[in-house]
């Protein structure tokens, strides 16, 4: 099975405090730790596990600048066979539709049976995979937390719905799935693995290589645009306890006792 | 502006978001005629239920729609809706399946998971969203002139208001054809029942990513034991397989309604907060002073749960002797 996984390089929210810059035009990006979008990493692991079972290859593709090469290499160190970087100034400020347009053009250059994306990324819109599927007119499922290969043309998949329930479907290949975290346990990538792929050439394609009309992408093609960033003031917020650990523990115990939290 | 709202319904009842979407539509355009779309099988009660909040209700009754399937509805809606329609949906698992595809197939704009509407400027809507797990918000514009699909975060337009619009039901069942799809719904597998039902717990010690390592989970269990209460967790803990799924609080896990909720190293993503009902007294401990959990907690501590939990456990054990 030929599998394509679309990945994104994002600020790692577990490693960073995300702050808005003084103009409110963006988040403060200096000194941020970046990594692969968490959902995408699960998608790559799933692709590798499928290929281990039924054969084929895994291609990892990212839209971004040269720095996105780093996450493509990381996923190749995990076991992905190929990497492709889609990079062009014209891609900047694309909205979800613009990003899906770029990905579709790149998908059309290959021959993929299965396309995986993360269920969502840093912007939290959960839109790219579903849009790509509609543009390709392929079946789609979101929030996928189980994939079983039935035969050459059919997968059995599970979707995570509310309350921990799971919606089961049969889906025909070729298709697009957006992958939910927790579907597998992504393997650890060691320094040695990264070294092995450090000098692999990552092919790069731009708007003209992909034959994309630049009016359909970037700022020009965006119907949805971000104006500014801010930190909302929601209500009064928590009363913050101050002091050293002993004092804080003392206060917490008092509060818990008075509220009936200690049985 | 012609605004439509897709009504999620289950077991003959409209979801809470049905009313929220009507209020969101009014906030977008107070003069708008708002139409509810109710699809399913045997849905007369749902249509009646939502008629209080909508000017018109389009009923699509078809046995093939008895289970709401995103692949089928995602192909029906673009054909059913008039040109330039604005469609609202609740941002949950059905919308995530179909809403972006509806926008592509009807060549309209898409904006996901809005948390507020600031109004219209000509044909451009101004919306608030969140990024980076709720750590920052953004103002966004969306060009609605060729129609739009907008998903609305559940709960943000919740209201005690009882509308009395009294719209009429229009049977549109004959206007649709069930499309061929290459995805077939098989069944829904119910969540496994765990050893403890946290949905009935009165006090919960809940742990998130801040616990850092699997070995530290025992620390949380020890605290819960010392307090004599139950423990639970946020999604990353279940993803890492450090606790069973039945202990996960959130929209994709259990809905809990404790009197006291201790959020230990939990940042407070909306999917997590969406699983906490009944406004419990909330104590949050987090290293990151900007974590969204501090906006909803009653008591906050900026600190490392790994330092605080063992001392807290010891202190409680001392008191109890």
pLDDT digit string, tens, across residues A153-204: 999 999 999 988 999 999 999 999 999 999 999 999 999 999 999 999 999 9
CA of B180 to nearest chain A CA: how many angstroms apart? 11
User: Does B203 contact A at CB distance below 8 Å?
Assistant: yes
Q: Average per-residue pLDDT in chain A?
A: 95
- Which secondary structure element, helix H or strand E, spans residue B126, and what is its range? strand B124-131
pTM: 0.93
CA of A237 to nearest chain B CA: how many angstroms apart? 4
User: Does B8 contact A at CB distance below 8 Å?
Assistant: no
Average confidence (pLDDT) per 10 residues, chain B, 321 residues: 95 94 96 96 96 97 95 97 97 97 98 96 96 92 97 93 92 97 96 90 97 97 97 96 95 94 95 93 94 94 96 95 80
Task: Indicate the residue of A11, A135, A238 with minimum beta-carbon distance to B300.
Answer: A238
CA distance A35 to A186: 14
- Which pairing describes strands B183-189 and B9-10: parallel, antiparallel, or unpaired? unpaired
CA distance B208 to B243: 11
Dihedral over alpha carbons A183, B255, B297, B116 (to 10 degrees): 80
Residues in A touching B147 (Cβ below 8 Å)? none
CA distance B169 to B54: 10
- Read off the pLDDT of each residue in A1-6 and give the average, rounded to a whole number: 98
Q: Say if CB B147 and CB B84 are below 8 A apart.
A: yes
Q: Which residues pair with B204 in a beta bridge?
A: B230, B261
Please tell me whether residue A99 adopts helix, strand or coil conformation: helix
Helices assigned H by DSSP within A141-205? 191-196
User: Does A100 contact B at CB distance below 8 Å?
Assistant: yes
CA distance A13 to A32: 9
Q: Do A237 and B319 touch (CB under 8 A)?
A: no
Q: What pLDDT does residue A14 have?
A: 76
- Searching chain B, which residue's CA lies closest to the CA of residue A171? B183
ipTM: 0.94
Q: Say if CB A147 and CB A169 are below 8 A apart.
A: no
CA distance B96 to B149: 12
| Cα B316 from chain centre | 36
Q: Say if CB B99 and CB B112 are below 8 A apart.
A: yes
How many percent of chain A have pLDDT more than 70?
99
CA distance B228 to B262: 14
DSSP B30: T
Q: Do B252 and A161 touch (CB under 8 A)?
A: yes
CA distance B219 to B225: 10
- Searching chain A, which residue's CA lies closest to the CA of residue B237? A182
Q: Say if CB B34 and CB B5 are below 8 A apart.
A: yes
């Amino acid at each position: 099975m030929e599998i394509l996984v679309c990945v994104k390089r994002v600020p790692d929210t577990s490693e960073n405090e995300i702050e808005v810059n003084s103009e409110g035009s963006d988040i403060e990006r200096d000194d941020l730790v970046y990594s692969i979008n968490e959902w995408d990493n699960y998608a790559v692991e799933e692709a590798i596990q499928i290929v281990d079972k039924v054969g084929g290859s895994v291609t990892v593709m990212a839209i971004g600048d040269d720095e996105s090469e780093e996450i493509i290499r990381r996923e190749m160190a995990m076991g992905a066979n190929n990497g492709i970087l889609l990079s062009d100034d014209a891609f900047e400020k694309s909205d979800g539709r613009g990003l899906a347009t770029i990905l579709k053009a790149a998908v059309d250059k290959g021959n993929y049976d299965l396309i995986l994306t993360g269920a969502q990324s840093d912007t939290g819109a959960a839109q790219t995979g579903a849009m790509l599927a509609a543009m390709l007119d392929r079946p789609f499922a979101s929030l996928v937390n189980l994939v079983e290969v039935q035969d050459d043309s059919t997968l059995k998949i599970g979707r995570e719905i509310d309350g921990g329930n799971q919606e089961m479907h049969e889906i025909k290949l070729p298709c697009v799935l957006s992958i939910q975290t927790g579907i597998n346990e992504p393997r650890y990538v060691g320094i040695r693995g990264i070294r092995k792929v450090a000098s692999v050439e990552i092919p790069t394609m731009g708007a003209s290589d992909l034959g994309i009309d630049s009016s359909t992408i970037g700022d020009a093609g965006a119907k949805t645009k971000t104006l500014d960033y801010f930190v909302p003031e929601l209500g009064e917020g928590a009363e913050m306890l101050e002091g050293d650990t002993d004092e804080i523990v003392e206060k917490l115990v008092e509060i818990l006792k008075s509220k009936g939290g200690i049985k | 502006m012609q605004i439509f709202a897709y009504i999620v319904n289950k077991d003959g009842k409209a979801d809470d978001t049905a009313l929220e979407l009507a209020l969101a539509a009014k906030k977008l355009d107070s003069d708008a005629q708002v139409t509810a779309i109710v699809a399913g099988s045997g849905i007369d009660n749902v249509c009646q239920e939502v008629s209080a909040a909508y000017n018109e209700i389009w009923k699509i009754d078809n046995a093939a729609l008895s289970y709401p399937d995103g692949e089928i509805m995602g192909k029906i809606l673009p054909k059913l809706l008039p040109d330039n329609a604005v469609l609202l949906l609740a941002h949950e698992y059905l919308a995530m399946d179909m809403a972006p595809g509806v926008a592509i197939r009807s060549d309209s704009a898409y904006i996901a998971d809005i948390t507020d509407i600031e109004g219209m400027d000509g044909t451009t809507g101004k919306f608030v969203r969140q990024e980076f797990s709720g750590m920052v918000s953004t103002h966004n514009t969306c060009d609605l002139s060729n129609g739009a699909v907008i998903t609305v975060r559940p709960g943000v337009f919740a209201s005690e208001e009882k509308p009395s619009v009294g719209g009429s039901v229009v049977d549109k069942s004959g206007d649709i054809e069930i499309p061929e799809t290459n995805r077939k719904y098989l069944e829904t597998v119910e969540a496994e029942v765990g050893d403890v039902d946290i949905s009935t717990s009165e006090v919960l010690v809940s742990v998130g990513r801040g616990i850092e390592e699997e070995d530290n989970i025992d620390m949380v269990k020890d605290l819960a034991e010392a307090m004599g209460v139950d423990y639970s967790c946020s999604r990353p803990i279940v993803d890492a397989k450090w606790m069973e799924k039945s202990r996960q609080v959130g929209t994709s896990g259990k809905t809990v309604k404790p009197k006291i909720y201790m959020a230990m190293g939990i940042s407070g993503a909306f999917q997590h907060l969406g699983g906490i009902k009944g406004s419990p007294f909330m104590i949050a401990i987090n290293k990151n002073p900007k974590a969204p959990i501090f906006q909803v907690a009653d008591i906050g501590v900026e600190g490392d749960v790994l330092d605080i939990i063992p001392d807290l456990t010891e202190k409680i054990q001392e008191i109890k002797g």
